[in-house]
Amino acid sequence: MRLSFASEQTRINHSKSATVSLNFSFADGPLYDFTAYTECKELPEQPLYNGGMLKNHPPENFSSIAHFSTGFYTPAFILHNLTPGTIYCFSIWLKIEGANSAHVRASLKTENSVYNCVGSAAAKQGCWSFLKGGFVLDSPSNLSILFFQNSDDRDINIAVASASLQPFTDEQWRFNQQYIINTERKRAVTIHAADGSGDTLQGAEITIEQVSKDFPFGSAIASTILGNLPYQKWFVERFNAAVFENELKWYATEPEQGKINYTIADQMMEFVRSNQLIARGHNIFWEDPKYTPAWVRNLTGPALQSAVNSRIQSLMNKYKEEFIHWDVSNEMLHFDFYEQRLGHDATLHFYETAHQSDPLATLFMNEFNVVETCSDENSTVDRYISRLRELKRGGVLMDGIGLESHFTVPNLPLMRAILDKLATLNLPIWLTEVDISGKLDKETQAVYLEQVLREGFSHPSVNGIMLWTALHPNGCYQMCLTDNNLQNLPAGNIVDKLLKEWQTGEVTGHTDGHGSFSFYGFLGEYTVSVKYGNRTANSTFSLCQGDETRHVTIRV
């Protein structure tokens, strides 16, 4: 690898929408810049944060870094006095020579550790690609090296430009999260109280209560919830969305060919309907052969195609318009059971047929290790985007981005940077299976869960969050919220804390001299009571996303 550094020159200016135009300062630091790019550009854009710590700080040439033995040169930045706990957001533009394309990974080496991937991008020859990521150190570092390498260490030239490294304290990061919550998840409301003649009523007593939330926040459920009234009560008191953990998967509904049984799924759907929950459909197909029915694994050619067609028609006709989403071909970036046997267009057929069967459902591409890390080269953010675009070019109505979110140690700036890139596609983004590895103790799980949930809820492009915490007698997949007696574990305490924080409690007050009362509320459905003297009027209103104040007039 040999270094070529692009000097500053006239750039193409980029426009930002109101939701991402946050690149200005407040008293204690910058507001986070959500800008990201997924198109290869003729010229690199200007650096975010005007370069931050890397302003006027060109890269160096280094060889044999971090166990390199090739002797190739890599672009690298020398960083001094990095502190643990500080959140470092990194971005840079890349261009390569010597290959048409390459997966380039940014890595960080300190005195004591190597952070294998702090950001990645699919770089190309002849145009500039945007890499965005970040890192948080475990221990202080007096001298660190931020360097770049392609995945197979081919001898290619890497050019870099418009590098930026912006630090945020934990307090600044939390401020930025709250800023987005206040602007994206809440809205101003003014209640006007008037009498029958339209005259304003000063001093009227106002009581407001949020009765439902707009943001979908839910969990997986399993057949264990059936007949378990305490568990059902616990669930519906917290969540407004559900997903069946395994009960819709092909191996569950048709373990033997032709013997289709939806009894358990039907009973779970009755629970969903009776409690006015929304539900995700998971999943139609799973590309991992380990979770494909044994009898399906033995089929080939027309017999396999016939079984696939029957599966889609049976499932989709049975539950048409019942599920808001469908994970159509689960984990297709890591596995390809059906495409190996039915050809490269097999996935296209799945999505086309699913859309025809249930045109109102949002079809998702559900995958792991997209937002959790950038070290898994099967599912980097650019590879996810490339596969999604490939399906769209084939005519697929790809409507949703599903990020499983099975974390061990979250890298928050990397997580946010990946969400930023995915947000450029203007599709709904859901965190679909959130949990923290069971290899960690329960207290650590809770700490990391709070970090992930706050990051998801405070990103303007995330439309919903689902936990993967279905309760079983022997525990959960990786992380439980409660024990078998429904007593909270540390992770459950975090969920309850955030649920309370992310809802509008009872709001009370009196109208002012203009007969008005104002407050900020989370999006959702509300009841309002206005009492004036011996007269009382009750009403309801919806609070949906909008930049303007929502005005509600109540006549008493």
Active site residues: 331, 433
Residue 74 · residue 95 · CB < 8 Å: no
Q: What single-letter amino acid sits at 78?
A: I
**CA–CA separation, 36 vs 129, rounded Å?**
10
Residue 550 · residue 542 · CB < 8 Å: no
Total H helices, total E strands in the chain: 12, 27
Q: Which helix (H) or strand (E) holds 69?
A: none
**CA–CA separation, 341 vs 349, rounded Å?**
13
Residue 360 · residue 321 · CB < 8 Å: yes
**CA–CA separation, 407 vs 467, rounded Å?**
12
Burial class (CB in 10 A: 0-12, 13-18, 19+), 380: buried
How many other CB atoms are found less than 10 A from the CB of residue 11?
15
DSSP state of 482: B
Residue 139, both tokens? 């221990």
DSSP state of 264: H
Q: Which of 348, 386, 349, 352 is nearest to 367 (CA)?
A: 386
Q: Which of 93, 71, 70, 69 is nearest to 158 (CA)?
A: 93
Residue 193 · residue 511 · CB < 8 Å: yes
390: which residues sit within 8 A by CB, 6+ positions away? none
Residue 384, both tokens? 């996810």
Q: Which of 260, 251, 252 is nearest to 223 (CA)?
A: 252
Give the CA dihedral 109, 115, 121, 122, nearest 10 degrees: 90
The beta strands (E) that lie in 151-269 are given as: 157-168, 186-194, 205-213, 217-221, 241-244
Residue 545, both tokens? 């996303």
> What value does the CA radius of gyration of the chain take, rounded to a whole number of Å?
26
